[in-house]
Amino acid sequence: MDDSTAHSPAGPDRPVYVIGGGPGGLAVAYALRARGIRAVVLEKSDRVGASWRGHYDRLHLHTTRRLSGLPGLPMPRRFGRWVSRDDVVRYLEKYAEHHELEIVTGVEVSRVDRATDGRGWLLHATGGRELTGAAVVVATGYNHTPRLPDWPGRETYTGELLHASAYRNPQPYAGRDVLVVGVGNTGAEIAVDLIEGGASRVRLAVRTAPHIVRRSTAGWAAQYSGVLCRRLPVGLVDRLSRPLAKLSVPDLSAQGLPRPDTGLYSRVLEGAVPVQDVGLIDAVRAGRVEVVAAVDGFDDGKVALADGTLIEPDAVVAATGYVRALECLVGHLDVLDTRGKPVVHGARTPSHAPGLYFTGFTNPISGMLRELAMDAEKIAKAVVKQGADRVSRLPVT
């Protein structure tokens, strides 16, 4: 990997710039390179896979190894079926090395504009760099900037409060009372990690009951069902999932987790993927993880819950998600919806912004890495088709 100053060629041909050195960015760079297109990955950290390096120690993929590899390099069998965080990082490092990807680290892109000559895009980057590319692929990631709700009283709260992005393992919380806020996959897994790691008490604050699915049933991974359902009508998947959920997941209403009254796939399209069980069901049934009402704010050193209860945990871990943080980068180009999500993804580009692509900003039921791999191939084909006459080509060897 090259950490030298990035630059654009002086000639008329220009590379494709890929913003972000995570799985999506690396996959696109390879897919372009495989078609003879010069792709330059711009990564703001000093190594690829920066977001994966920062995840908690316990994390494993909820998707299978076979369906999580990127184009041109399968994940090694020795990683096992459910690949660990550290092995994902090793894989991304090997992927960049194996495909000899052109990666420039330590460069953060702050803004993307149309090129002054109308041919391509101008990137404003660290150190006053101005880089001109024939096309740009934004792959900065779904989990980009931690979101911590602006709860009333948060600024004056003196207790320990951290976002889940700062959580690593349960060791600092052994023997302590911890409140986990949010019951997505991250919050559910951190709650289990804490109670198994020696926390004296773990409570899980829930605002909306999630859909919970078994990660695997009799060898059948939940991801397989997600792949099969990916293109089916939303209403049909919602109806099919209800009886399956009753068969595979016990009713936890008495413990504070009733079955959701909205459809599984409907919730996915709203941005809420099902929680894959890695111990939460047993922990809740046994009372080891206590489900409590949502957090409404902080009051005189205590946490105020939506049911009026005041509790005083030793620490609060906010598994409250992330924001895409694309407004400064491309918000002025009218390519984001009201929630800050790109209006297109994959091979499609906005009609008024040709050559501007986005990948990794959806959270599909069929698995993020699988979709990133598919999008990479589609984007590369679109770049070749739409800009073959002006994209910088790799030398023939």
In this structure, is residue 237 part of a structural domain? yes
Domain hosting 162: range is 147-318
Please check whether residues 358 and 237 belong to one and the same domain: no
The per-residue pLDDT for 269 is 85
**Closest listed residue to residue 202, CA positions, set 185, 187, 213:** 187
The per-residue pLDDT for 111 is 98
Label residue 49 left, alpha or beta by phi (over 0 means left) and psi (-120 to 50 means alpha). Answer: left
The per-residue pLDDT for 291 is 98
User: What token pair was written down for 206?
Assistant: 């829930």
Please check whether residues 38 and 155 belong to one and the same domain: no
Q: Which of 301, 318, 335 is the last residue of a domain?
A: 318
Please check whether residues 213 and 244 belong to one and the same domain: yes
Please check whether residues 263 and 186 belong to one and the same domain: yes
**Closest listed residue to residue 130, CA positions, set 138, 121, 143, 139:** 121
User: What token pair was written down for 183?
Assistant: 């019951």
Tens of each residue's pLDDT in the chain, 397 residues? 554 444 444 445 799 999 999 999 999 999 999 999 999 999 999 999 999 999 999 999 999 999 999 999 999 999 999 999 999 999 999 999 999 999 999 999 999 999 998 889 999 999 999 999 999 999 998 888 899 999 999 999 999 999 999 999 999 999 999 999 999 999 999 999 999 999 999 999 999 999 999 999 989 999 999 999 988 999 999 999 999 899 999 999 999 999 998 999 999 888 888 999 999 999 999 999 999 999 999 998 999 999 999 999 999 999 999 999 999 999 999 999 999 999 999 999 999 999 999 999 988 889 999 999 999 999 999 999 986 556 767 765 5
- Rg of the chain over Cα atoms, rounded to whole angstroms, equals 22
User: What token pair was written down for 93?
Assistant: 């490092």
Residue 278: strand, helix, or coil: coil
The per-residue pLDDT for 11 is 44
In this structure, is residue 284 part of a structural domain? yes
In this structure, is residue 372 part of a structural domain? yes
Which CATH number is 309's domain given?
A: 3.50.50.60
The per-residue pLDDT for 396 is 53
Please check whether residues 258 and 221 belong to one and the same domain: yes
The per-residue pLDDT for 364 is 87
d(CA 263, CA 76): 36
Which residue has 């089916």 as its token pair? 232
Please check whether residues 152 and 296 belong to one and the same domain: yes
Residue 304: strand, helix, or coil: strand
- CA end-to-end span of the chain: 20
In this structure, is residue 1 part of a structural domain? no
Please check whether residues 154 and 46 belong to one and the same domain: no
In this structure, is residue 182 part of a structural domain? yes
Please check whether residues 103 and 25 belong to one and the same domain: yes
Cα 159-175-186 angle, rounded to 5 deg: 70
Q: What backbone phi and psi angles, to 5 degrees, belong to 39?
A: -120, 130
The per-residue pLDDT for 12 is 52
Could you tell me which residues come within 8 angstroms of residue 68 by beta carbon, excluding any fewer than 6 positions away?
61, 75, 83, 367, 369, 370
Sheet with strand 310-311: strands edge to edge: 295-299, 302-305, 310-311
Please check whether residues 225 and 309 belong to one and the same domain: yes
Please check whether residues 175 and 275 belong to one and the same domain: yes
Could you tell me which residues come within 8 angstroms of residue 325 by beta carbon, excluding any fewer than 6 positions away?
140, 144, 145, 340
Q: Which of 318, 333, 358 is the last residue of a domain?
A: 318
In this structure, is residue 77 part of a structural domain? yes
d(CA 326, CA 173): 34
In this structure, is residue 114 part of a structural domain? yes
In this structure, is residue 169 part of a structural domain? yes
Q: Which of 294, 318, 342 is the last residue of a domain?
A: 318
d(CA 6, CA 325): 23
Please check whether residues 290 and 189 belong to one and the same domain: yes
Q: Whole-prediction pTM value?
A: 0.92
Q: How many domains does the chain have?
A: 2
The per-residue pLDDT for 141 is 86
